[in-house]
Amino acid sequence: GHHPRGRPDRDLCVRVNDVEGYAELSKKRLDAAKVWENIEQAVEEKTVLEGTVTEENKGGIVVSVKGVRVFVPASQSGQPRGADLSAMVKQKVQLRITEVNRARRRVVGSIRSVTEEARKAAQAEVWANIEVGKHYTGTVKSMTSYGVFVDIGGVDGMVHISELSWSRIKTPAEVCKVGDTMDVYVISFDPEKKKISLGVKDHSIDPWQVFMDKYQVGDVASVRIVKLMTFGAFAEVVPGVDGLIHISQIADRRIDKPEDVLSEGQIVDAKITAIDEEKQKISLSIRALLTPAADEAEEEEAPVEE
């Protein structure tokens, strides 16, 4: 019937709201059912879904996929053991649904299976296109005393310590650390053994050339003692170029052995007394700087052989 203005029919309101409410509820139910169907389908078809990590939960994390809570156990999070999973909250992730229990409204997923696949694809890509001399930008993954392992896109290659620097270094830690970005190139590789040997030194810079451009006979250089022998000491003049300080040229007095006066790693001033360009050998003298006058005469003699 018709009601005069200003006298709302309470019952009618409730009824209309009810109908609307019920319609909304059944739509929600339908949507929910649809979502569950989608999720069940995703399990069968191993579909990769995207969601957002909403919280860290006992033993894993919860990812919201289209409003459905998906539990991802820590072992399937794609993170290393014992990693702080709370750092993943609010991150967008790709995952696969591995298990659905509609009655218990429990959905379990795995991020790891997706990342593993991406890694395998990346690895296949690297091996398919690798060649000697090819350059990569890699990341230092781990270090040993003899070199570093660098990830060049899902595959690790090894950079030997001798390749890390023109200078003599005792451990790779002197020049790099885990997480560093490194420009590398392939020296050799073995697809059977899945081994890759990488280089990093800039071979366009020839240390001997650097030395020749910088010094000549008679110059005084600040050198670093790198090796002590019975007959003298080797000292680095520029990275990658060593000169010999003969035992007779270490001090202004007779010494029994170089380590009586020098120690490895020590920086000393030495005079360049001879340069053999053909053999790329350099003779150095500390003594020449200690008693310049007395030694002028002796220096006329040929450089001392190693």
Mean pLDDT on 102-121 = 87
Question: Of 166, 174, 122, which is closest to residue 148 (Cα–Cα)?
Answer: 174
Is 2 inside any structural domain? no
**CA geometry: angle at 116 spanning 110 and 119, to 5°?**
150
Give residue 52's pLDDT band: very low, low, confident or very high (50, 70, 90). Answer: very high
108 and 138 co-located in one domain: no
Question: Of 77, 76, 93, which is closest to residue 85 (Cα–Cα)?
Answer: 77
CATH number at residue 29: 2.40.50.140
Which of 199, 221, 237 is a domain's end point? Answer: 199
Residue 169 per-residue DSSP state: -
**Number of alpha helices (DSSP H) and beta strands (DSSP E) in the chain:** 6, 15
Mean pLDDT on 74-97 = 89
pLDDT of residue 295: 47
Is 4 inside any structural domain? no
276 and 214 co-located in one domain: yes
Is 235 inside any structural domain? yes
190 and 239 co-located in one domain: no
> How distant, in Å, are the alpha carbons of 91, 99, 250 from that of 96?
16, 9, 70
Is 278 inside any structural domain? yes
102 and 16 co-located in one domain: yes
pLDDT of residue 212: 94
User: Of 1-5, 15-19, 119-123, 261-265, which has the strongest mean pLDDT?
Assistant: 261-265
34 and 107 co-located in one domain: yes
Question: Of 207, 188, 205, which is closest to residue 197 (Cα–Cα)?
Answer: 188
pLDDT of residue 282: 97
44 and 76 co-located in one domain: yes
pLDDT for 267 beyond 90: yes
pLDDT of residue 136: 92
Q: Number of folded domains in the chain?
A: 3
Which of 199, 225, 258 is a domain's end point? Answer: 199
**260 phi/psi in degrees, rounded to 5:** -70, -25
pLDDT one-digit tens code per residue, 203-229: 667 889 899 999 999 999 999 999 999
104 and 22 co-located in one domain: yes
Is 120 inside any structural domain? no
In this structure, the number of other CB atoms found within 10 A of the CB of residue 216 comes to 10
Mean pLDDT on 9-31 = 60
Is 244 inside any structural domain? yes
87 and 164 co-located in one domain: no
Is 1 inside any structural domain? no
The whole-angstrom separation of Cα 175 and Cα 234 is 22
60 and 96 co-located in one domain: yes
What global pTM score does this model have? 0.50
Amino acid of residue 83: A
| Structural tokens at position 41 | 């389908």
pLDDT for 130 beyond 70: yes
| Structural tokens at position 23 | 């319609």
Domain enclosing residue 51, as ranges? 11-115
213 and 186 co-located in one domain: no
Residue 167 per-residue DSSP state: S
- Provide the mean pLDDT of the chain: 85
The whole-angstrom separation of Cα 264 and Cα 104 is 70
Is 3 inside any structural domain? no
